[in-house]
Structure 1
Amino acid sequence: MKSVGFLVLVCLTIGSFGSSEIDQEQIKEISRKITEINFNNTDFNNDFKMNILKAVLGMQTVRVSDTYDADVTNFTEQLLTNVRALIIDQGLEPLQLPDEKVNLVVTGNVHLTNGWLTDLSTIWTYDEVQINYSNETKILDVTLPLSFDVLLITYDYKTKIILVTIHGDLKAKVKKVKLNLHLGFNFNTYQAFVDKLDVKKSGTITIEFTGLGLLNWIIDAMSDVLIALFHNLILGIVNSIIQTPVQAVIEDINEIINNFLYPSSLINCCHAMFDQYKLNQH
């Protein structure tokens, strides 16, 4: 039976007890008096289920966010705030890029080294969040329209034209990368999940080169090849960069929901927390 006791309220108010002496027997006595809610009851109001979901989603405070807002729109903003923080926390801002060797028709090849990608943490929404619920499947679908305003790629390059070696650096600005992230919540299992990531626009790329004696036709030849390379590079990076932190946030949400739905895990959690609390008093 899926049931939930509001023991979570007891856990959340531990910090307010001050120096009062509260032992495990008191907690057990309190837990016996807490009314359980049967989630299998067909009379259980769907709106109330949604409110519980929103409250649970609002409670998640993983990584750096301290917001307790239960509103779905604010949850979306909180999710992206956590993703941005995770990008920085995981050392992905800036992100070091692999060395590349690109073949050119005229000059032979271009060697790219010391590459960096910056501004991944500027991810945000470019349109309204789309929310759909199916009564048949009992699945809530959420589509987040995400974008990176401007991403910056930098590389050192070296190429050889006949007997002349040209080297310098390049800056590639990638503007208006847009993608849709599809999330969902299954009311059959009470679990959130990441569905898929659709790239709507891979962005427009402009490249600036520095280097003594660089001719226009060489710039054109290098630009065409590098733009294709950077488009593929950005799509691969954006997909992995978004999937990893979002999946981490979703897992944290599911952990909170599981604790909310299965009070036994919360009781164990409270016992452990009070054991630690009593140790800290000595």
Structure 2
Amino acid sequence: MKFLIVTLCMIATICAYHIKKNEHNLKIGKVEYTRIPVKYSFGKLDKSSIIPTEELLKRFAHKMDASPQAGTQAVLNDYADKIFTNLQNLMIHNGFDPLEMPDLHTGFNYTLIITYYGDLDLTNGWLSDISTMHRGGDVLVEYSSNTRNLEITVPITFNDMMFTYDYAATIMGLGPKGGIDGKITDINIEAKLGFNTETFEATLEEFYITHTGTIHVEFNGNDLIDWLLNLLTDVATVILKEAILLVVEGIVRDGLNTAVDAINDAINGFLNPTTPIPSTTVATFMFK
């Protein structure tokens, strides 16, 4: 009897899907994260490889010295490319690409004539090509003579990132299992770094995702009927995008903090704390 009822419900849903597919109501519950990897931090990585060279610092100083007035902007694309190249190498050589993803679990309900309840588990996830992180435009440096602060705006973007997961779903007694392949494109991030010319310290001041990208999901390993495939695709797309953005944000933020620490180390190495630093221009705070 239970099998007959479920079968009738499925038939009704299949018939109604093509007629009212835009009138359904999908609600996704809170996403639970488990088996969260602990290797996302850059804290133990060697920072020496991204310390700016003296030549690059001199080029920066020369640009700012040529136009020291308030509001001056200098494009430091060469140095940013060096930072990103070294961060890419650090990611690859220290096991950040491909990157292990956390397991995800969520419940959902789907209303189309009747309401269906279900659960979706995503396990054994991997995200690859996160090391394609690169400069997404001009890196601008603005200096204010009033505050004696530098503000550095760094646009960041990624090439297509690929991901895989195993999935297991439970919907009205059905329990399909299989795999998920997909990609996410056009994630853009903007970071703002500051440099205090009084304390000679760089900081990561702002960090935000300006475009969350577009995600594409494909199920494999199990032949799913159209309405079930679309339902699972809708659920997986929402929770996967959230998880990927959280991981990407964490990786990029840690990477930038590592770069900031390296810049501070470099500046401390170039400056002699016992020697007075002239304060006439932005250029002279770096070199005597």
Class of the TM-score when normalised by the shorter of the 2 chains: 0.5 to 0.7
Once the two structures are superposed, what CA deviation does each residue of 1:162-216 show, in whole Å capped at 9, x if it has no partner?
A: 4443111111211100010111221111122111212110001110111333111
Asked if 1 retains the 8 angstrom alpha-carbon contact of 2:50 and 2:83, the reply is no
**Which residue identity does 1:144 align to in structure 2?**
V
**Which residue identity does 1:146 align to in structure 2?**
I
Residue in structure 1 matching 2:204, options 171, 194, 212: 194
Aligned to 2:97: 93
Aligned to 1:73: 77
Asked if 2 retains the 8 angstrom alpha-carbon contact of 1:65 and 1:82, the reply is no
Percent identity, aligned pairs only, is 30
Count of paired positions: 204
Q: Distance in 2 between matches of 1:194 and 1:161?
A: 45
Structure 2 residue matching 1:197: 3-state secondary structure: strand
Q: Distance in 2 between matches of 1:89 and 1:245?
A: 14
Residue in structure 2 matching 1:84, options 81, 84, 88: 88
Aligned to 2:29: none
Per the TM alignment, residue 66 of structure 1 is displaced from its structure 2 partner at its CA by: 9.2
Normalised to the residue count of structure 2, the TM-score between the two structures is 0.65
Q: Distance in 2 between matches of 1:149 and 1:199?
A: 15
Name stretches of at least 5 consecutive residues in structure 2 with no aligned partner.
Answer: 1-46, 60-75, 110-115, 275-288
Q: Distance in 2 between matches of 1:64 and 1:128?
A: 19
CA 1:204 to 1:223, structure 2 compared with 1: closer, same or farther past 3 Å? same
After TM superposition, the structure 1 = structure 2 runs for residues 229-240 of structure 1, keeping only pairs within 5 Å, are 229-240=239-250
Residue in structure 1 matching 2:175, options 160, 165, 189: 165
Name the Cα RMSD after superposition.
Answer: 2.2
After TM superposition, the structure 1 = structure 2 runs for residues 114-263 of structure 1, keeping only pairs within 5 Å, are 114-262=124-272
Normalised to the residue count of structure 1, the TM-score between the two structures is 0.66
**Which is further off, 228-237 or 99-108?**
99-108
CA 1:64 to 1:195, structure 2 compared with 1: closer, same or farther past 3 Å? closer
Tell me which of the two structures has the higher relative contact order, counting C-alpha pairs closer than 8 angstroms and 6 or more residues apart.
Answer: 2
Per the TM alignment, residue 82 of structure 1 is displaced from its structure 2 partner at its CA by: 2.0
CA 1:112 to 1:91, structure 2 compared with 1: closer, same or farther past 3 Å? same
Q: Distance in 1 between matches of 2:207 and 2:94?
A: 21
Name stretches of at least 5 consecutive residues in structure 1 with no aligned partner.
Answer: 1-60, 265-282
Structure (1/2) with the larger helix percentage? 1
Once the two structures are superposed, what CA deviation does each residue of 1:51-71 show, in whole Å capped at 9, x if it has no partner?
A: xxxxxxxxxx82278966414
After TM superposition, the structure 1 = structure 2 runs for residues 262-273 of structure 1, keeping only pairs within 5 Å, are 262=272
